[in-house]
Structure formats: structure tokens, C-alpha cells
């Protein structure tokens, strides 16, 4: 098949491109000229999807068998993709579990759960998803909505609970304590991007997947305390975990902190049985500890782990928290 990908160089999409090539497909990527890590077999069409007329015309000229949109972030993007990819046999929309919000009526959260997004990102993804689902029901547009939970890989790195920050890995190596939110017992699901790619590739060509929404998650959940301890095991060093309430963390100027109150501070547990039923090719073959080992090695190779000695906010929080504990003794 000839498959078009809007994006192609991101965290998940890099693995999708690699897998599709291995399966023998012709892959064409559209982005702003970021060839990045694209394999030489991939043809790149340079452009900006914000120039909707040029984007849609370029995609229509290609006559794709299938398309995957990894960077559709709002209803306007979705309407444009509808025009760009009319005529494809399968269209895959990369959505997000952030569409559900964090106030759940039940867990694990199934695809029919009410949507209560709490961030602009989640609300805009809901609006985009609705465009494609309406087009499926109104005109048979073969849209498939995939909702990933947290994915990790060499392009993104190994996240932590309290911030969009990677210096915590260096702290562990140097024997420094690290901060986690609350008691660390909230649960989350982590999926390696190479496993995630199987879902996107697997829905292509399956008529029964058209019009469907799929949670794409690792069925195994992990508590954040265990997650950080796994990283310690990979790095070969055990350090103290300093438990700090989210309300206290919010009083500090922590770069990238919003990821914690927006999602990571809460137990997030999603049901992925529907995807595993309809797409048996999707399976989790990379355990979290092994995945961490691979990604940390890639981060080292690419210099993506900052020197924690140059970053002071975490030591400040730890000193203040320990001072509070001493006063209570």
C-alpha cells in the first residue's frame, strides 16, 4: 500500500514509519521539512498544514491507499484532513486519552466513557475526533480513532511524574534524592513506541475498524513509585524518594510542571481490550524495565540527559520538605 503520514518524525510516528517500511509499504511523509531520522526509503513532502489549500492539494495528488494523521490538534485541522484524504481506504487519527479527563465514573476507562477533558489539548482533540466520527456516519469516511496513553521512546525519552524533565535520571546516577507527587501510589500505563506502532499499522485495511475508537494502552499498570524504582534498577543506583503533596509542588516554579496536575497526579487506568480484540497484531512485547533500558541508552547516546548539578529547583523543594518534617518531629 501507499501510505501517507502527516508528521512522521515524532515520538510514535518514527516507529510507525519503520514498521510500515518493514511490512513492505510505500511511505510518504508530509511535514515542515524535518527529515530528521526518516529512513532514506521515505519520500518527504515539505509543507505546512496551516496552509490548508496547499496541504490538501498535495495530499490529493498522491492518491494514498491509507493515511495517518499524527498532528491533527483541532477541528479545523480535522476538516482539512477530511478534504485532503477523501478517497483513502483507511484514515487513522492519533487522538489521546486526555479526552476523558481525570474524573472517571469507572476504571478501567472504556471507549464509551463520557468525555470530560480538563485541558485545551484534550478539548481540541475531542472536537477533532467528532469531525471524523461525524464524517464516518454521514458519508462513510473510513476514520479510525486511536487514543494513546503515555508512550515513551528514544525520540521523547523517559518522563517523570512531576514535570517534563529528564534531569532526574542524572540525579539517580549521582545518588541524589528525587521528588515524586504525594504517596506515589497512583497508577499509570506506559507503552513503548515500537509496541504502539503495531496498533497504527494494524488497523490499516481492516474494514471492521472504520468508525471505531480504540484506547491504545499497556494492559499492565504501574504505580509511579514503582516506575521510579524501575529506573533506579536500570541505572544501578537506589536513591531516596521525597514525597511532596501536589499543592506544595504547585507553589514552586517547576519547568513543565503542568503535566502533573493535568494528568500524572491522578490514577489513570484505561481498558484496551477492544483494540486487542480487533487488531491481534497489537501486543505488548517490551516490558517497562527493558524499554527504559533501551531508551536511556538512546538518551545517553544523543546527549538528552541534562546535568542535574546545573538545575536547582529540585534541591530547593527537597530541602524545604525535609525542613517541614523536622519541625513536625
pLDDT one-digit tens code per residue, 63-107 = 999 999 999 999 999 999 999 999 999 999 999 999 999 999 999
222-243: average pLDDT: 98
High-pLDDT (> 90) share of the chain, %: 95
pLDDT over 80 at 328, yes or no: no
> Would you state the cell numbers that stand for residue 80, as one nine-digit string?
482539512
Domain ranges of the chain: 2-152+190-216, 167-188+220-269+286-328
Q: pLDDT class for 325, splitting at 50, 70, 90? A: confident
241 in Cβ contact with 225 (< 8 Å): yes
CATH code 2.40.50.100 for 2-152+190-216: no
- 167-188+220-269+286-328: CATH topology is UDP-galactose 4-epimerase; domain 1 (3.90.25)
Give the closest residue to 144 by CA, choosing from 58, 63, 231, 85: 85
How much is the pLDDT for 132? 98
- DSSP label of 114: P
Alpha-carbon distance of 7 to 10, in angstroms, equals 7
> Would you state the cell numbers that stand for residue 115, as one nine-digit string?
468525555
In Å, how far from its chain's centre is CA 256?
16
Alpha-carbon distance of 294 to 62, in angstroms, equals 36
93 in Cβ contact with 132 (< 8 Å): yes
By CB atoms closer than 10 A (0-12, 13-18, 19+), residue 64 is buried
How much is the pLDDT for 323? 86
Q: pLDDT class for 329, splitting at 50, 70, 90? A: low
Mean of the per-residue pLDDT values for the chain? 96
- Tell me the per-residue pLDDT of 104-145, one tens digit each, with 9 for 90 and over: 999 999 999 999 999 999 999 999 999 999 999 999 999 999
161 in Cβ contact with 181 (< 8 Å): yes
> Would you state the cell numbers that stand for residue 4, as one nine-digit string?
501517507
High-pLDDT (> 70) share of the chain, %: 99
How much is the pLDDT for 35? 76
Alpha-carbon distance of 40 to 44, in angstroms, equals 10
122 in Cβ contact with 96 (< 8 Å): yes
Alpha-carbon distance of 275 to 217, in angstroms, equals 9
Distances (CA, A) of 155 to 14, 86, 158, 175, 301: 8, 31, 10, 26, 12
DSSP string, 116-135: ---SHHHHHHHHHHHHHHHH
How much is the pLDDT for 37? 80
| CA dihedral (145, 132, 121, 30) positive or negative | positive
Alpha-carbon distance of 153 to 157, in angstroms, equals 6
Identify the residue whose cell numbers are 532526574: 168
157-179: average pLDDT: 97
Host H or E run for residue 66: strand 66-69
Give the closest residue to 94 by CA, choosing from 49, 17, 146, 141: 146
142-157: average pLDDT: 97
Give the closest residue to 72 by CA, choosing from 93, 90, 100: 93
- Tell me the per-residue pLDDT of 249-260, one tens digit each, with 9 for 90 and over: 999 999 999 999
Sheet holding 143-148, edge to edge: 43-46, 26-31, 2-6, 66-69, 90-94, 143-148, 213-216
How much is the pLDDT for 92? 98
Give the closest residue to 320 by CA, choosing from 239, 240, 251, 232: 251
Give the closest residue to 33 by CA, choosing from 44, 18, 19: 44
Amino acid at each position: 500500500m501507499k501510505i501517507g503520514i502527516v508528521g512522521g518524525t515524532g515520538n510514535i510516528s518514527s516507529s510507525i514509519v519503520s514498521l510500515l517500511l518493514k511490512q513492505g509499504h510505500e511511505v510518504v511523509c508530509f511535514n515542515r521539512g524535518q527529515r530528521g531520522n526518516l529512513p532514506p526509503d521515505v519520500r518527504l513532502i515539505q509543507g505546512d498544514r496551516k496552509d490548508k489549500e496547499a496541504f490538501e492539494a498535495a495530499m490529493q495528488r498522491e492518491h494514498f491507499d491509507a493515511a495517518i494523521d499524527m498532528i491533527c490538534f483541532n477541528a479545523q485541522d480535522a476538516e482539512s484532513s477530511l478534504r485532503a484524504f477523501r478517497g483513502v481506504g483507511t484514515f487513522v487519527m492519533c487522538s489521546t486519552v486526555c479526552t476523558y479527563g481525570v474524573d472517571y465514573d469507572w476504571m478501567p476507562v472504556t471507549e464509551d466513557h463520557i468525555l470530560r477533558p480538563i485541558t485545551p489539548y484534550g478539548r481540541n482533540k475531542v472536537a477533532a475526533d467528532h469531525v471524523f466520527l461525524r464524517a464516518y456516519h454521514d458519508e462513510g469516511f473510513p476514520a479510525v480513532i486511536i487514543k494513546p496513553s503515555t508512550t515513551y521512546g528514544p525520540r521523547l525519552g523517559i518522563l517523570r511524574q512531576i514535570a517534563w524533565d529528564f534531569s532526574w535520571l542524572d540525579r539517580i546516577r549521582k545518588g541524589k534524592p528525587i521528588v515524586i507527587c504525594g504517596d506515589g501510589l497512583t497508577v499509570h500505563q506506559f507503552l513503548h513506541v515500537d509496541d504502539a506502532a503495531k496498533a497504527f499499522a494494524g488497523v490499516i485495511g481492516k474494514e471492521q475498524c472504520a468508525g471505531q475508537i480504540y484506547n491504545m494502552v499497556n494492559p499492565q499498570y504501574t504505580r509511579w513509585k514503582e516506575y521510579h524504582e524501575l529506573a533506579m534498577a536500570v541505572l544501578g543506583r537506589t536513591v531516596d524518594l521525597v514525597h511532596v503533596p501536589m499543592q506544595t509542588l504547585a507553589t514552586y516554579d517547576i519547568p513543565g510542571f503542568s503535566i502533573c496536575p493535568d494528568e500524572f497526579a491522578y490514577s489513570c487506568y484505561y481498558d484496551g481490550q477492544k483494540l486487542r480484540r480487533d487488531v491481534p497484531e497489537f501486543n505488548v512485547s517490551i516490558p517497562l524495565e527493558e524499554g527504559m533500558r533501551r531508551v536511556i541508552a538512546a538518551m545517553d547516546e544523543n546527549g538528552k540527559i541534562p546535568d542535574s548539578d546545573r538545575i536547582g529547583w529540585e534541591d530547593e523543594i527537597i530541602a524545604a520538605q525535609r525542613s517541614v518534617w523536622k519541625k513536625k518531629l
